A and B are shown apart, each in its own frame.
Chain A
Amino acid sequence: MKIFCIIPAYNEEKNIIEVLEKLQKLTFSNQEPVLEKIIVVDDGSQDRTSQLASEIAKKNSQIISLRHLINRGQGAALQTGNQYAIQEKADLVVHFDADNQFIAQEIKDIIKPIIEHEADIVFGSRFLEKKSDIPFVKKNIIMPLARIVNKVFLKINLTDPQSGFRAMNKKALKKIKITNDGMAHCSEILFKSFQNNLEIKEIPITVIYHDYGQKLNGGIKIIKDLLISKILK
């Protein structure tokens, strides 16, 4: 099974090497590497992210470095990675952040329901059994608000409305074309999964917060982007 990991990266020179090293070391119990390809999509970073990714890619055929010449947003970077995965006939794609907040080992948990044909798409959730040290405002204000927005506008009822850790099979990859370039892609992916009647599963994941991440004004921008994309349809 061809498993690709897509990493959208923007100004992540401090983390990208460590993230790639961890992902490269990821193996199944038979010592076979879990990931056939690790695709870094540099989203027009102003630091050395792209340079570092390219240098590693030249030394290691498992890693592919793609570069947006200008910053287009995380959603756009993920779709670039998805298109590459479709071109290369990937069977399974994992979306993984470049900021070293996710745990590489949990990729095995997130792909399991797809390998076992229990789901087409699996979302990692910070709000199930495992404990993530989520900042107070994010946990108690921003996320509940995001859940309400998803429920009202998109009729989606999942525990984690903004998780960037997900896996999807070939069917889901082809059905879900990300059109929201910014952070609204999380809600868009959820919505399109429901719209296309995909088998959906949520599994618990751990997130280690190094910085705050999405703030309230970012959340407002997501709502604005969702509204515009709804009106434009």
Chain B
Amino acid sequence: MFQQIIAIIIILFFIVRMIWQKKNKKIKNNEFVFWLIFWGLAFFAITSLKWIDKIVANLGFTGSGIDILLYIAIIILFHLVIKIRFNQVKINNQITKLTRKIALDEKD
């Protein structure tokens, strides 16, 4: 219960911070909606742990709901890291193309 309260406080802190950023136009609309859904789902998951426990048990897993949430979080993080890495490679390739074009256009 205590851990749940801490998690909820953290989630609420991020939601409030996001609303403040939105008010000050520091984040775009689509970013705001994405993170609102993200933190909303996190809030829902934390407040519905018992319900998630039941679903997890019915699916035949031996771990508790929080374990499954943790595994899902790790998978999502791993996916995001790979996606960022690939994007970085693509951006690097584009920078190289641009650098090359300038070099060829401005030869001595």
A-to-B contact residues, CB < 8 Å: 41, 44, 53-54, 57-58, 64-70, 72-73, 76, 79-80, 83-84, 87, 179, 181, 228, 232
Contacts and interface: CB of A to CB of B under 8 A. Distances in A.
Contact of A69 (B89, B92, B99, B108): B99
Interface in B55-108: 85-86, 89, 92-93, 95-96, 99-100, 102-104, 106-108
Contact of B107 (A44, A66, A72): A66
Contact of B108 (A54, A70, A228, A232): A54
A181 B92 contact: yes
A79 B92 CA distance: 15
Nearest to B90: A232
Interface of B: 85-86, 89, 92-93, 95-96, 99-100, 102-104, 106-108
B108 A58 contact: yes
Given A72-B95, A181-B96, A41 B103 contact: yes
Q: Which 3 A-B pairs have the closest CB atoms?
A: A65-B108, A54-B108, A66-B103
A232 B104 contact: no
Contacts of A58: 108
Nearest to B86: A232
Contact of A66 (B93, B96, B104): B104
A70 B99 contact: yes
